Amino acid sequence: MEDNKSSMTALVSAFGRAYHSLYDDPKIFDDSLARGLMTDDEFVAMSGYMAGGINFFDPERAGSFSDTQQALKWVVQTQIAPTPLARARYCEEMLSDAIMTGTEQYVILGAGMDTFAYRNLRLLDRIHVFEVDHPASQQFKISRVKEAGWEVRDRLHFVPADFTADDLISQLEEAGFHRSKRAFFSWLGVTYYLTKESILEILTQLAGASGGGSFVMFDYADEGLFHSTVKRVQNMVAMAQAAGEPMKSCYSYDELETALRQAGWLIREYLTPEDIESRYFRNRHDYLHAFEHIHYVLAVKGAPRVERR
């Protein structure tokens, strides 16, 4: 991973959350700190870049907007923001429930520009937070946190690691992670880009290194991803390919359940695109809607299976 690539990917994600916090109403997920991770010049440049993206995402629609702000809104709300906003909301809701029942460690795999530890300072009196990311991405993030002047609590731990190559658990333990204690692992926006073998290996490592009652929450694509007739799904796959980070994995429900069980996890809750639409996007009057073919799953170590919704 090159420094500029990791930095740009992180900034695009931060931009989507920042735009939503600044301009959209009602909020799906209000990341009020995301804008602070970007300079003014970066935010303006990113706005222009995104607005110009209308010519890629939907050329026929490009001429229908009266100004670039309308084009920007369409691009962000249609293509960039829906999944990052809803999955972050769901993840933090599930994390809150887990903390109420004794979870003491929160591990963010592929943390990027995540701002949880800076938005929830009081929670860091109760839990340890471990931000795991590629060294290049993490160094960029740390530099932006310092520039923003945000408080870094003692219970926030930075773990530089490529979790597809490094010994992830050893890296976590060196940062203070305890195998015997309950943990909540968030793994957002990552599984698409890994092989199924890598996904299974990582899930197995996480289960083997965490106490009973620990959780893992992640998003994934269903088996229709690569054959979808939905234009914005086709755009998503094409963008990943063009960026040199092609999407590699998608699952049927039964296939995913089998992989999780093999790794030591059981499904606690499973959200389809229809579930996500109903829970987070209902009654909106803008372009924000749940992304087709994208599902969320919450799995637990050592709990009874629930029926598919």
Question: Which one, of 58, 92, 34, lies nearest residue 280 by Cα?
Answer: 92
Per-residue pLDDT band for 119 (boundaries 50, 70, 90) equals very high
Question: Which one, of 31, 185, 28, lies nearest residue 119 by Cα?
Answer: 31
Residue found under tokens 């796959």: 237
CA triplet 167, 172, 178: central angle to 5 degrees?
Answer: 125
Q: Model confidence over 1-18: pLDDT tens digits?
A: 444 455 577 788 899 999
Q: Model confidence over 41-51: pLDDT tens digits?
A: 999 999 999 99
Residues 146 and 243: their CA atoms lie apart, in Å, by 29
Instruction: Say yes or no to pLDDT of 115 above 90.
Output: yes
Output the average pLDDT for the chain: 92
CB-count exposure of residue 252 (10 Å: 0-12, 13-18, 19+): exposed
Kindly give the residue spans of alpha helices, DSSP state H, lying in 149-287. Answer: 168-174, 196-208, 231-242, 253-263, 273-276
Q: Span 82-300: which CATH code?
A: 3.40.50.150
pLDDT of residue 92: 98
Q: Could you state, in order of their start, the residue ranges of all structural domains in the chain?
A: 3-80, 82-300
Q: Which two tokens stand for residue 174?
A: 């060196």
Contact 232, 200 (CB under 8 A): no
Spatial neighbors of 109 by CB under 8 A, at least 6 apart, are 132, 163, 185, 186, 187, 190, 202
CA triplet 84, 90, 94: central angle to 5 degrees?
Answer: 140
Q: Which two tokens stand for residue 52?
A: 């110009």
Per-residue pLDDT band for 71 (boundaries 50, 70, 90) equals very high
User: Residue 278 is which amino acid?
Assistant: S
Residues 109 and 189: their CA atoms lie apart, in Å, by 10
Q: Model confidence over 178-215: pLDDT tens digits?
A: 999 999 999 999 999 999 999 999 999 999 999 999 99
pLDDT of residue 1: 41
Instruction: Say yes or no to pLDDT of 307 above 50.
Output: no
From the CA atom positions of the chain, what is the Rg in Å? Answer: 19
